[in-house]
Structure 1
Amino acid sequence: MKRKTIGIIGLGRFGGTLAKQVAALGHEVCGIDIDEKVVQKLTPFITHSIVADFSDEETIRSLHLQDFDVVVIAIGDDLKAKLLTAMVLKELQAPYVVAKASSDMESKLLERVGVDLVIFPEMNMADRLAQMLTREYIVDYFQLSQDIGLVEMNTPAFMVGHTLEELSLRSRYGINIVAIKRHKSVMVPPNPKEPLTEEDMLILIGRNEDITKLSQL
């Protein structure tokens, strides 16, 4: 695995957690925040830590963040600082800039200044939890696009004892099972001629509406 250099601007709940997790995976992390106390708390967990004010353009330029493989803008509610940081980083030709947004308007503004990826941590988590709470059998859910989801689900009762070949899920429901977790092993791709068991965990991809129909059978 290539060791990456990642700068994380804003070390609140999201940025701080991200910094620690990325560092734990063996990558070089530089965490930056305007609050000295917040920076001090993260210092033992990451490679470098800096106190800096991202409402000041010269400060942003002086940190040479364009030399990092990835920069994540995880600033909280200061939209001006987010936009200024994004504009300066893209002007300096930072390779890949990710920014956290809390609204569609923020997302559009960040995209206009050239951010490579805009994320909605709170909204994404809410969507994920809603899917898990309202669909029977579903254990975990990841949104791949506006209408496509990747789902981990318990094997529905009507599938137990049948093979994937017999069930014809792709033609009947528009669902693709890409893997099966059985005990401590994962079958990728799954054997289409092997009957499913009650203990199997299915990993599947499909349109949200098709996943909903399948979970209600």
Structure 2
Amino acid sequence: MKHKTIAVIGLGQFGGTVAKMLASMEHEVLGVDIDPEVVQKISPFITHAIVADTTDEEAIKELALSQFDMVIVAIGGNLQANLMTAMLLKELNAPKIVAKAENNIQGKMLHKIGVDQVIYPEYDMALRLVQFLTRDHVMDYLQLSKNISLIEIKVPTFLVGSNLKDSNLREKYNLNAVGIRRGEDLEVPPNPITILGEDDKLLVIGNNSDLDALTV
């Protein structure tokens, strides 16, 4: 895995967690927050931590964020600061900007500013929970587009003791298995002749309606 230089602006619950996780994966992480106490607390866990007001044009220029591979704007609660920071990053030609949005209106505004990717952490978490609670066997869920999703499921009973080659998963359900998880090991792409056990998990990708037919 190529290690990247990533700046995280806004070190609240979401931003702080993201920064720590990135640092644990050995990426070079710069954490930025306006609150000195927040910066002090996270400092031992990431590469660099700086107190700065990223709505101040001169202050954000001094951070030289255009030299980073990615900047994540994780400011929550302060809409003006979130949008102003994203706008200044765009003007400073940051190579990739990912911004957190609380709702669709904020998301639309961030898109108009020109950020590369808008994320909705609360919505995405709620969606994953709903899918987990309403689909049989579903362990995890990722929506890739409006109609296509990737799910991790317990191996259905009808597949236990057989393999993917003979399962007719693609022919019967129009779905593709892209991985097999066995304990801590993940086999990607999966060996089509691997015999599936009842404790195995399958990573399956396909149209949402086809996934419903398999899991509901």
In the superposition, the TM-score normalised over structure 2's length comes to: 0.92
Structure 2 CA distance for aligned equivalents of residues 2 and 130 of structure 1? 34
Say whether the 8 Å CA contact 1:71–1:96 is kept in structure 2. yes
Structure 1 unaligned blocks of 5 or more: none
Change (3 A) 1:137 1:48: same
Look up the match of 1:28.
28
Amino acid at match of 1:197: G
Say whether the 8 Å CA contact 2:149–2:208 is kept in structure 1. yes
Secondary structure at the residue paired with 1:152? strand
Structure 2 unaligned blocks of 5 or more: none
Say whether the 8 Å CA contact 2:30–2:48 is kept in structure 1. yes
Q: Give runs of aligned pairs for residues 128-167 of structure 1, distance below 5 A.
A: 128-167=128-167
Shift of 1:35: 0.9
Look up the match of 2:123.
123
Look up the match of 1:211.
211
Look up the match of 1:48.
48
Shift of 1:195: 4.5
Shift of 1:168: 1.4
User: CA offsets, 1:52-83, max 9 Å, x none?
Assistant: 12332222223221121111101112121122
RMSD: 1.8
Structure 2 CA distance for aligned equivalents of residues 188 and 151 of structure 1? 14
Amino acid at match of 1:203: L
Shift of 1:108: 1.0
Shift of 1:186: 4.0
Say whether the 8 Å CA contact 2:96–2:116 is kept in structure 1. yes
Structure 1 CA distance for aligned equivalents of residues 41 and 183 of structure 2? 40
Structure 2 CA distance for aligned equivalents of residues 72 and 194 of structure 1? 40
Shift of 1:116: 0.7
Amino acid at match of 1:52: A
Q: Give runs of aligned pairs for residues 103-118 of structure 1, distance below 5 A.
A: 103-118=103-118
Say whether the 8 Å CA contact 2:182–2:200 is kept in structure 1. yes
Change (3 A) 1:148 1:16: same
1:87 aligns with 2:76: no
In the superposition, the TM-score normalised over structure 1's length comes to: 0.91
Change (3 A) 1:29 1:190: closer
Shift of 1:32: 0.8
Change (3 A) 1:66 1:206: same
Look up the match of 2:63.
63
Structure 1 CA distance for aligned equivalents of residues 201 and 94 of structure 2? 41
How many residue pairs end up in the alignment? 216
Secondary structure at the residue paired with 1:115? coil
Change (3 A) 1:79 1:191: same
Amino acid at match of 2:99: A
Change (3 A) 1:51 1:176: same
Say whether the 8 Å CA contact 1:57–1:84 is kept in structure 2. no
Identity of aligned residues (%): 53
